[in-house]
Amino acid sequence: MTPGVHQVTGWGLVSLSAFIAIYYSIWVIILPFVDQDQPIHTFFLPRIYAIAGPLVAGVIALTLIGAFVLYVTVSPKKVKKS
């Protein structure tokens, strides 16, 4: 992969994180002040998912990380003498 691809990926990550931050901020902070019959609400799921979604994702992520750590600790393929 060329350094050009690295840069594209890097800036892509920046855009993605900005998008998530803005979307989530609108969802949690702005929408409560907007009437329910405004069209903007069609872009967002019911509010409960704003809290449940990240929580579930977080639990899954922690479980995966925990499993990874356990796997690496329990099965040393190369015994590296430091």
Partner 1 sequence: MAVSKLFQWLICLTSFLAVWLSYVLGLVQTKFSEEMNEIIIALPIYLLILFACVLLGMIGHRVATFNDCELASKELKEHIDAARQDLAKKGYKFASDWKS
Partner 2 sequence: MADKNKYTVLLPTYEERANLPIIVWLLVKYLTESDYDFEIIIIDDGSPDGTLEAAKDLQRIYGEKKIVLRPREKKLGLGTAYMHGIKHATGNFILILDADMSHHPKFIPDFIKKQAEKNYDIVTGTRYVGTGGVYGWDLKRKLISRGANLITQILLRPGVSDLTGSFRLYKKEVLEKLITSCVSKGYTFQIEMIIRARQNNFTIAEVPITFVDRVYGESKLGGNEIVGFLKGILYLFATT
Residues that bind partner 1 (CB under 8 A): 3, 6-14, 16-18, 20-21, 24-25, 28-29, 32-33, 47, 50-51, 54-55, 58
Neighbours of 65 (CB within 10 A): 10
Question: How far apart are alpha carbons 21 and 27 in whole angstroms?
Answer: 10
For residue 69, give both structure tokens. Answer: 């750590």
Q: Under DSSP, is residue 37 helix (H, G, I), strand (E, B) or coil?
A: coil
Q: Under DSSP, is residue 2 helix (H, G, I), strand (E, B) or coil?
A: coil
For residue 81, give both structure tokens. Answer: 């003498």
| Nearest-approach distance from CB 65 to partner 2, in angstroms | 9
| Nearest-approach distance from CB 15 to partner 2, in angstroms | 16
33 binds, among partner 2, partner 1, none (CB under 5 to 8 A by kind): partner 1
Q: Residues in the site for partner 2, rule: CB under 8 A?
A: 1, 5-6, 9, 68-69, 71-73, 76-78, 80-82
